[in-house]
Structure 1
Amino acid sequence: MKHDFWHERWEKQEIGFHLNDTNPALTSHWHTIPVDLGERVLVPLCGKSVDILWLLREGYQVVGVELSEIALDVLAESIEETFSLAVDKQQVGNLILYRAAGILLICGDWFSLTSFDTGPIDAVYDRAALVAMPEEMRADYASQLLKVSENAPQLLVTFEYDQNEMSGPPFAVDQAQVESFYADTMNIDVMADKDCLVDEPKFRERGLSALREKVLRLTPKG
């Protein structure tokens, strides 16, 4: 998937993946992740997600990574309005960095980042990153996530549906595929598995006859 695809989606505001409210998967299951208040949570491909505002309100530091400057401009404005913070925006090499107390937003190519760019990571919240990747990119995405986060515990949200009925994103990523990426280094527990098509009319309109959402907790082995 080319960068131009996502830039065009944001420029045209074709962002059906964006939620206006905090994701229930986060509020219901984040407490099961072994991370302390004040520690740093990585949100890959964060868009302008209001989930980041929830994490900040709860008392975590947040590192968000996103390709679209449009998305991060909106998110930075939301942070400023919500928390009465001044978010500093600065070009640093190939990256655009947004900084405020306890907040780092990185605009750039996910696959080019290093742990030096993100700083230390204590936990990961992936609602819309793995499922945004076409199949040929998912293994590389997961490998990069493990590398950047140094195998930090993770709350992962995936979708399962008949890929013949709808083309992604979000793509269908079943548990077996998640295990192929992470099982060597992470314990994988199913926290929720629900039929969510009734709650997602836009996916019915795209032709889906069934849709399941899974919430998975990944914790380091050993």
Structure 2
Amino acid sequence: MTDKQFWTKRWQENRIGFHEGRVNRYLREYWQRLDAPPDQSVFVPLCGKAVDLAWLHERGHRVIGVELSKVACRGFFTDRGIEPTVTETGAFVHYSSDGIELLCGDFIDLTRGHLQGASLFYDRAALIALPEHMRPRYCDHLAEIAGPDARGLLITLDYPQQAFAGPPFAVPDSEVHRHLGRHFAVEALYHAPIQPDDPLRERGLSQATESVFSLSRR
């Protein structure tokens, strides 16, 4: 779905400024708003090797991520001194260990069956990683594979798109409501300028706002 060569090269060259080396502050603060029982599985699209995966698992969730780069998938486990079980089925290579499974492949090839009944999802860096023309398809496919009782936490970024080439790309709140509001009830939980220590400021993006939404299936 994404520009595969672009993202594969970024991971191969370790140009991963988008990777947060700590748990996302908004995940810590707002995950509880989903009232998510720890025995429910969580799906994380375009997950990279996010520390957030381990944080969710530590709270009792089984975690299923999808990621294009084998470097990222292996890196998540290597960073924790874990040798994952690796299997290949259809369009995906599966990396798994102790309640965390990363599917290496294209998000758009996922089916509901791949999510193994996951009723929760967490999107910190998927929607904003996609250029505008790809986002409607992403939103529709997310809604298609998410369960009938799906709930999720979404984090977005907005700024004047002409001021910064992206990724991450600007996703205005109106677009969230337009593309996801057809499938989910959308509740805004947070909306404020990016944090003073946000790495995007070092890249010249100072006029940007972050938003956090909870989504629940209509």
What TM-score bracket applies, with the shorter chain setting the length? over 0.9
User: What is the 5 A alignment of 1:23-172?
Assistant: 23-79=24-80, 81=81, 87-150=84-147, 152-172=150-170
Question: Contact conserved, 1:42 with 1:124, CA < 8 A, in 2?
Answer: yes
1:12-41 CA distance string (max 9 Å, x none): 111111001100000000000132112100
The amino acid of 1:167's aligned partner reads A
Corresponding position of 1:181: 179
Question: Contact conserved, 1:197 with 1:210, CA < 8 A, in 2?
Answer: no
Identity percentage of aligned residues? 35
Q: Which moved more, 1:95-104 or 1:48-57?
A: 95-104
Deviation at 1:149? 1.2
Question: Contact conserved, 2:64 with 2:100, CA < 8 A, in 1?
Answer: yes
Number of paired residues?
Answer: 216
1:67-105 CA distance string (max 9 Å, x none): 0000000112245x3xxx652011223210012232221
Question: Contact conserved, 1:42 with 1:64, CA < 8 A, in 2?
Answer: yes
Distance 1:92 1:112 in 2: 12
SS in 1 for 2:216: strand
The amino acid of 1:52's aligned partner reads L
Distance 1:53 1:155 in 2: 16
- Verify: 1:216 aligned to 2:217, yes or no: no
SS in 2 for 1:187: strand
Going from structure 1 to structure 2, the CA distance change for 1:78 and 1:59 (only over 3 Å counts) comes to: farther
Question: Contact conserved, 1:159 with 1:173, CA < 8 A, in 2?
Answer: yes
Distance 2:216 2:79 in 1: 31
SS in 2 for 1:198: coil
Question: Contact conserved, 1:42 with 1:62, CA < 8 A, in 2?
Answer: yes
The amino acid of 1:2's aligned partner reads D
C-alpha RMSD of the superposition: 1.5
For structure 1, the 5+ residue unaligned runs are: none
SS in 1 for 2:16: coil
